[in-house]
């Protein structure tokens, strides 16, 4: 059963049945908790070996959202510490279950706190644009709405997988005033936008933001009209490896997300590219809203140093 949960969670993340940086982090850690509960080990050594293998596999499910390795590494680092202390198998299992639960609870709390902090940045009468579907962003907008602020939301549809439709329907169901537009209309509508809020899959040490493909175009349009550009992201979206100069890998997805098989076959001379994420340079970002405070992009390195004093050991 345990292996199955790891495998099925891996498949769910890879195929995007579970998607969004925060959700995939929690799904991976929940699968590790299921492994702990599976009883498929008869010694401490076997238990930890299985847990390390499960974590390593889950980290490979999708390459860009750093929330995934950060979450798994959080559990594995704690497993390594615990393993070095020895103790009974029962004690190890209970301790690791607790670590998994603590991660999931803190992730949910973080999103709520971001909602609270971010909502203060939305003013009555604002027009707010968002791109893709981010729990951190919907938390900000929902909290502002719950606080009685009157504002309008414009959601880009977010091709090729249309996550913007999820955002639009979630917000409309919560009573917000929301309009869905094609991605290509972002610049036209930017003229009336006061604030853009997007999520992040990873944030680099220099404050660059890696998020759904198209985010950087929205940022460029926001820069042109001087709309504020905010990023709502939990601290576990900060990429420690970028502190040592590593680049964030951008996931390339199937051409079948861009055009149907029949068209691709009829036009086999056409090359198709489908990058899932892009990089918005820090110059286009005004603020990064985290549960640990609000930072200008140039200041995010301070939070990173606080969280990962030895990034090469992660
Ligand atoms: C989702 C996406 C989201 C971030 C942040 O991409 O780019 O903006 O993951 O989301 P995909 P959250 O649909 O390819 O996973 O705030 O929910 O973590």
Residue 186: CB within 6 Å of ligand 1? no
Instruction: Tell me, yes or no, whether 124 and 56 share the same domain.
Output: no
How remote is the CA of residue 195 from the centroid of ligand 1, in Å?
A: 19
- What's the N-to-C CA distance of the chain in angstroms? 29
- pLDDT value of residue 112: 98
Instruction: Tell me, yes or no, whether 102 and 120 share the same domain.
Output: no
**Domain limit, last residue, from 113, 138, 154:** 113
Taking the C-alpha atoms of residue 170 and residue 282, their distance in angstroms, rounded to an integer, is 29
Instruction: Tell me, yes or no, whether 66 and 206 share the same domain.
Output: no
**Domain limit, last residue, from 113, 138, 159:** 113
Among 208, 235, 230, smallest CA distance to 291 is for: 235
Instruction: Tell me, yes or no, whether 151 and 238 share the same domain.
Output: yes
Domain region containing 58: 2-113
How remote is the CA of residue 94 from the centroid of ligand 1, in Å?
A: 31
Catalytic center residues = 132, 201
Cβ proximity of 12 and 18 under 8 Å: yes
- Total of domains in the chain: 2
- pLDDT value of residue 4: 86
Instruction: Tell me, yes or no, whether 226 and 133 share the same domain.
Output: yes
pTM score, whole prediction: 0.96
Instruction: Tell me, yes or no, whether 148 and 183 share the same domain.
Output: yes
Q: 14, 17, 18, 21: which to mutate for ligand 1, most atoms within 8 A of CB?
A: 21
* Ligand 1: residue whose CA is nearest its atom 3: 134
- pLDDT value of residue 314: 59
Instruction: Tell me, yes or no, whether 127 and 107 share the same domain.
Output: no
Instruction: Tell me, yes or no, whether 71 and 103 share the same domain.
Output: yes
Residue 218: CB within 6 Å of ligand 1? no
Q: Which atom of ligand 1 is nearest to the CA of 211?
A: 7
Q: What are the pLDDT tens digits along the chain (314 aa)?
A: 445 899 999 999 999 999 999 999 999 999 999 999 999 999 999 999 999 999 999 999 999 999 999 999 999 999 999 999 999 999 999 999 999 999 999 999 999 999 999 999 999 999 999 999 999 999 999 999 999 999 999 999 999 999 999 999 999 999 999 999 999 999 999 999 999 999 999 999 999 999 999 999 999 999 999 999 999 999 999 999 999 999 999 999 999 999 999 999 999 999 999 999 999 999 999 999 999 999 999 999 999 999 987 766 65
* Ligand 1: residue whose CA is nearest its atom 11: 20
Instruction: Tell me, yes or no, whether 147 and 11 share the same domain.
Output: no
**Domain limit, last residue, from 113, 137, 154:** 113
**What CATH number did the domain enclosing 95 receive?**
1.20.120.420
Instruction: Tell me, yes or no, whether 191 and 260 share the same domain.
Output: yes
- pLDDT value of residue 309: 76
- pLDDT value of residue 313: 63
**What CATH number did the domain enclosing 204 receive?**
3.40.50.10470
Residue 65: CB within 6 Å of ligand 1? yes
DSSP letter at 230? E
Show the DSSP H helices in the chain as ranges: 2-14, 21-37, 44-59, 67-85, 89-119, 135-146, 163-173, 186-190, 215-225, 261-266, 300-307
Instruction: Tell me, yes or no, whether 149 and 25 share the same domain.
Output: no
Instruction: Tell me, yes or no, whether 248 and 281 share the same domain.
Output: yes
| 3 state SS of 170 | helix
Taking the C-alpha atoms of residue 98 and residue 33, their distance in angstroms, rounded to an integer, is 9
- pLDDT value of residue 1: 44
């Amino acid at each position: 059963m345990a292996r199955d949960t790891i495998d099925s969670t891996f498949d769910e993340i890879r195929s995007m049945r579970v998607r969004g940086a925060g959700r995939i982090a929690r799904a991976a850690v929940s699968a590790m908790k299921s492994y702990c509960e599976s009883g498929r080990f008869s010694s401490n050594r076997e238990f930890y070996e299985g847990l390390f293998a499960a974590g390593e596999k889950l980290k490979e499910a999708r390459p860009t959202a750093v929330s995934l390795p950060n979450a798994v590494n959080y559990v594995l680092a704690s497993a390594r510490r615990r393993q070095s202390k020895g103790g009974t198998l029962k004690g190890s299992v209970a301790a690791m279950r607790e670590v998994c639960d603590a991660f999931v609870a803190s992730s949910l709390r973080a999103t709520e706190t971001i909602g609270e902090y971010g909502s203060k940045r939305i003013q009555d009468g604002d027009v707010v644009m968002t791109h893709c579907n981010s729990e951190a962003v919907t938390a900000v907008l929902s909290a502002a709405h719950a606080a009685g602020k009157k504002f309008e939301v414009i959601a880009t549809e977010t091709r090729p997988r249309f996550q913007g439709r999820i955002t639009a329907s979630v917000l409309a169901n919560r009573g917000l005033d929301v309009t869905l537009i094609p991605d290509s209309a972002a610049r036209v509508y930017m003229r009336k936008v006061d604030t853009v809020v997007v999520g992040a899959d990873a944030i680099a040490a220099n404050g660059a933001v890696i998020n759904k493909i198209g985010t950087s175009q929205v940022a460029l349009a926001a820069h042109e009209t001087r709309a504020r550009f905010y990023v709502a992201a939990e601290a576990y979206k900060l990429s420690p490896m970028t502190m040592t100069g590593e680049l964030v890998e951008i996931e390339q997805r199937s051409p079948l997300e861009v055009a149907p098989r029949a068209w691709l076959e009829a036009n086999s001379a056409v090359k198709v590219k489908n990058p899932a994420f892009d990089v918005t340079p820090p110059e286009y970002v005004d603020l990064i809203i985290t549960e640990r405070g609000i930072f200008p992009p140039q200041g995010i390195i301070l939070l990173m140093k606080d969280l990962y004093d030895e990034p090469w050991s992660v």
